[in-house]
């Protein structure tokens, strides 16, 4: 009798507690699966929040791939740091899941700080893993903030947008103008570094030239994402970069070895084969090319100047090159001796393609020195960058002219 009475009292107590909990709707989300050995669905992926122009919060996510997935519960709370506990929507999932879903919450007001969390449920009513808490302030174009539900640490977003004030210089304020130009140049270099993908050029003295040529597709770097600016340039690499300057499509595998020591299957064989066919590179007296041999500053300057003469479509420039090649030796460099390379170095120096390096009280060229990739990039940039960018401008102008001509023809027909 006594045991029966205790059992009834216990039953009433439990039932009353449950009813009380139901009436207040303050269940906290179960953040761990009910049965770790047989967990429910995984958490929805790519969960994002945006505020549309009507000040409604748009939730987007991808359902977990699960053959037993039934629905996604959307939990919400209003207020900074308040855990989502109220179920505001239940989205029925497609069979087997894996689909993109959205839900628009219209029951919000401008200025509200709203927190959301998603929980999947399978057909056996087993709860799955919940998402992190995503928070957004209801303003047009607001950025969401993602918070770790256990630590409260902000994982993404939550930073105030900094609006940079535009600086306008007075015409006579040369210091301001120079500062603006320097800032613009630094920004351009940063963009080039990012576009190049090279991880080792940010602090290099030739970063601007390397970045500019990488943007044009002339320099491609190493498979590991580096460029190796201070590494020596070999003859295979020289053939490749000079071929790219010509603007041709990437070469195909040659049918035969272009030189006895250049295998047709080597990565550089197509470049060497095509440059040889155009008579822009030559081998040694024994018939070999020496692709792995390091190229000297004089050799690379000669090659670059010959390719430039081939590419440039200006008779006055070609005439200037011819006159300099046949003229007197330049006095720019203290160490320049009479040799086969003297006319090439003279021409490149007088045309501003190379300035050498400081030595003593003057400048030296170092004709026999091995050229580094950075030094080669500077010469290439000085020689070809105007030609490369001019070709882009010409192509744009041609497209615009063609459009205008088509419009004129259509008007005449009408």
pLDDT of 185-204, one tens digit each?
777 777 767 767 888 888 89
pTM, full prediction: 0.53
Mean pLDDT of 346-371: 93
Per-residue pLDDT band at 161 (split at 50, 70, 90): very low
- The answer to whether position 103 is within a domain reads yes
pLDDT digit string, tens, across residues 12-33: 444 443 333 333 333 445 544 4
Task: Name the residue with higher pLDDT: 114 or 35.
Answer: 114
Do both 226 and 373 map to the same domain?
A: yes
- The answer to whether position 153 is within a domain reads no
Do both 256 and 332 map to the same domain?
A: yes
- The answer to whether position 410 is within a domain reads no
* 2: phi then psi, degrees, rounded to nearest 5: -65, -45
Pairing of strands 113-122, 357-359: unpaired
Q: What angle do CA 106, 110, 116 make, to 5 degrees?
A: 55
Report pLDDT for 222. 87
Per-residue pLDDT band at 264 (split at 50, 70, 90): very high
pLDDT digit string, tens, across residues 76-131: 999 988 999 899 999 988 877 778 899 999 999 999 999 999 999 888 888 888 99
Report pLDDT for 154. 57
Do both 130 and 207 map to the same domain?
A: no
Q: What percent of the chain has pLDDT over 90?
A: 50
Secondary structure of the chain in the HEC alphabet?
CHHHHHHHHHHHHHHHHHHHHHHHCCCCCCCCCCCCCCCCCCCCEEEEEEECCCCCEEEEEECCECCCEEEEEEEEEECCCCCCCEEEEEEECCCCECCEEEEEECCCCCCCEEEEEEEEEECCCCECCCCCEEEEECCCCCCCEEECCCCCCEEECCCCCCCCCCCCCCCCCHHHHHHHHHHHHHHHHHHHHHHHCCCCCCCCCCHHHHHHHHHCCCCCCCCCCCCCCCCECEHHHHHHHHHHHCCCCCCCCCCCCCECCECCCCCCHHHHHHHHHCCCCCCCCCCCCCCCCECEHHHHHHHHHHHHHHHCCCHHHHHHHHHHHHCCCCCCCCCCCCCCCHHHHHHHHHCCCCCCEEECCEEECCCCCECEHHHHHHHHHHHHHHHHHHHHHHHHHHHHHHHHHHHHHHHHHC
- The answer to whether position 174 is within a domain reads no
Do both 299 and 363 map to the same domain?
A: yes
Do both 142 and 265 map to the same domain?
A: no
pLDDT of residue 397 exceeding 50, the answer is no
Q: For the chain, how many structural domains are there in total? A: 2
- CA nearest to 385, candidates 248, 233, 215: 215
Do both 328 and 226 map to the same domain?
A: yes
Are 372 and 232 in contact, with CB atoms under 8 Å apart?
yes
Q: Examine the fold and report which residue of 82, 114, 148 is the final residue of a domain before the chain moves on.
A: 148
Sheet containing 57-62: order of strands: 45-51, 57-62, 100-105
Do both 212 and 67 map to the same domain?
A: no
Report pLDDT for 172. 75
pLDDT of residue 413 exceeding 50, the answer is no
Q: Examine the fold and report which residue of 124, 148, 172 is the final residue of a domain before the chain moves on.
A: 148
pLDDT of residue 231 exceeding 50, the answer is yes
From CA 384, how far away is CA 376, in angstroms rounded?
Answer: 12
Report pLDDT for 68. 84
Report pLDDT for 141. 65
The domain that contains 112 carries what CATH number? 2.60.40.10
Q: Examine the fold and report which residue of 86, 113, 148 is the final residue of a domain before the chain moves on.
A: 148
Do both 345 and 219 map to the same domain?
A: yes
Report pLDDT for 215. 87
Task: State the residue range of the domain holding 137.
Answer: 45-148
Do both 72 and 216 map to the same domain?
A: no
Report pLDDT for 29. 53
Do both 66 and 140 map to the same domain?
A: yes
Do both 237 and 348 map to the same domain?
A: yes
pLDDT digit string, tens, across residues 2-13: 444 444 434 444
* 135: phi then psi, degrees, rounded to nearest 5: -125, 140
- The answer to whether position 232 is within a domain reads yes
- The answer to whether position 179 is within a domain reads no
Do both 216 and 113 map to the same domain?
A: no
């Amino acid at each position: 009798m006594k045991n029966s009475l205790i059992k009834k009292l216990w039953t009433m107590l439990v039932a009353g507690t449950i009813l009380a909990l139901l009436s207040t709707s303050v269940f906290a989300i179960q953040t761990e699966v009910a049965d770790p050995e047989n967990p429910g669905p995984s958490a929805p992926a790519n969960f994002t929040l945006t505020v549309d122009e009507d000040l409604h919060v748009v939730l987007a996510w991808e359902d977990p791939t699960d053959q037993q997935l039934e629905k996604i519960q959307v939990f919400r709370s209003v207020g900074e740091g308040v855990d989502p506990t109220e179920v505001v929507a239940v989205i029925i999932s497609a069979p087997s899941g894996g689909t993109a879903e959205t839900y628009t919450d219209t029951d919000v007001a401008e200025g509200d700080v709203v927190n959301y969390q998603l929980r999947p449920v399978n057909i056996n009513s087993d709860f799955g893993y919940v998402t992190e808490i995503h928070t957004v302030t209801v303003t047009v174009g607001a950025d969401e903030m993602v918070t770790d539900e256990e630590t409260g640490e902000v994982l993404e977003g939550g930073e105030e947008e900094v609006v940079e004030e535009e600086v306008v210089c007075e015409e006579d304020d040369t210091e301001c103008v120079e500062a603006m130009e320097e800032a613009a140049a630094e920004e351009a270099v940063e963009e080039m570094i990012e576009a190049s993908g090279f991880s080792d050029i940010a602090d290099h003295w030739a970063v601007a030239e390397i970045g500019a040529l990488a943007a044009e597709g002339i320099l491609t770097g190493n498979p590991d994402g580096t460029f190796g600016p201070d590494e020596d340039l070999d003859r295979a690499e020289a053939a490749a970069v000079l071929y790219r300057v010509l603007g041709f499509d990437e070469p195909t595998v040659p049918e035969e070895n272009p030189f006895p020591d250049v295998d047709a299957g080597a990565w550089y064989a197509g470049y060497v084969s095509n440059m040889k066919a155009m008579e822009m590179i030559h081998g040694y007296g024994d018939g070999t090319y020496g692709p792995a041999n390091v190229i000297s500053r004089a050799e690379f300057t000669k090659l670059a100047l010959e390719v430039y003469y081939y590419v440039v479509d200006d008779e006055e420039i070609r005439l200037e090159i011819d006159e300099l090649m046949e003229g007197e030796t330049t006095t720019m460099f203290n160490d320049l001796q009479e040799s086969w390379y003297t006319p090439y170095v003279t021409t490149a120096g007088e045309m501003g393609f190379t300035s050498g390096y400081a030595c003593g009280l003057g400048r030296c060229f170092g004709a026999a020195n091995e050229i580094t990739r950075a030094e080669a990039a500077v010469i290439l940039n000085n020689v070809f960058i105007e030609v490369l960018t001019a070709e882009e401008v010409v192509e744009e102008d041609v497209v615009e002219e063609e459009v205008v001509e088509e419009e004129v023809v259509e008007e005449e027909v009408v």
